[in-house]
Amino acid sequence: MTLIHTPVPPFGRTLCAMVTPFTASGALDLDGAQVLAARLVAEGCDGLVLNGTTGESPTTTDAEKADLVRAVRQAVGARTPLVTGTGTFDTRHTVELTRAAEKAGADGVLMVTPYYSRPPQDAVEAHFREVADASALPVMLYDIPGRTGTRIAPETMIRLAGHPRIVAVKDCSYDFLGTQKVLSRTELAYYAGCDEHILALYAVGAAGCVSTVANVVPRQVAAVLDAFEAGDTGRAAVLQQRITPFVEAVMDGGLPGAVTTKALLAGLGLPAGPVRAPLRPAGREAVAGLRAAHDALVTA
């Protein structure tokens, strides 16, 4: 029996948090970004998230962010939703980036909680509302308190759900009860932002995922959601368990996902290039472990 999954995914279902390829000298590699984006779409991603955490957004300029959106749009066409990160710790700057994203051709923006200054919840809410009012683009809120120092409290999220352009959440809160509270009380489309939560969150009503490991294994990530959507929950669980050692290697080995993902892509001959400082490339031992985890997954 086929299960009917109720959330309407506004930006697709299997989204990849795409790395930002650089040349060997550290410049933005737009040709490489186009090659990588086209591969991701061909291999099962029906949406892409650019200029996020994995995209090294803290170290790319405003102009580079817009150029990346335009280049990827050219590569994947109009049918693939493109969401681009515009969130900063400065409301005015976030407004500027959001308007620039709209001009560049993005379909939506990913807006992280203001970081470092740790604003209280009323200020967090005001920030998101002001930026959402600044353009016609739909907004995906990005709740990742482990990086920002401030979470979007479930009560704040419930209030923000009333804004007509705040439509989705990338959830890295590690608060499963809080997430279910918002899911049960709003129409927000939740996306698992942590690869270990893809199936668990989808099973309780999420719209999909924004995956880091999909940069390398897009088909395997999409297959988890395909199986659940088809009603084969047992197979979905097996597939989620199958990718777990790889998720652990990429995301829980002491290195940021941008570092580990770029190391894997480079080893596979795909566009990636170096990371930008202050990040540093993965060492030889780490790369060997990543390749072993990758090879075990793709040959399983």
H helix count then E strand count, the chain: 12, 8
Question: Quick check: is 170 catalytic?
Answer: yes
Q: For 85, phi and psi rounded to 5 degrees?
A: -70, 130
Coil/strand/helix, residue 85: strand
> CA dihedral defined by 154, 171, 84, 31, rounded to 10 degrees?
170
Coil/strand/helix, residue 82: strand
Q: Which residue out of 65, 103, 142, 202 is catalytically annotated?
A: 142
Q: Are 54 and 212 in contact (CB under 8 A)?
A: yes
User: Residue 129: exposed, middle, or buried by beta-carbon count in 10 A (0-12, 13-18, 19+)?
Assistant: middle
- Beta bridge pairs of residue 209: 14, 192
Q: Which residue out of 65, 116, 170, 262 is catalytically annotated?
A: 170
Cα atoms found within 13 Å of the Cα of residue 82, Cβ hemisphere only: 27
Query: Rounded distance, CA 86 to CA 93, Å?
Result: 9
> Running DSSP on this structure, what letter comes out for residue 195?
G
Question: Quick check: is 115 catalytic?
Answer: no
Contacts of 268 (CB under 8 A, 6+ apart): 216
- Give catalytic residue positions: 142, 170
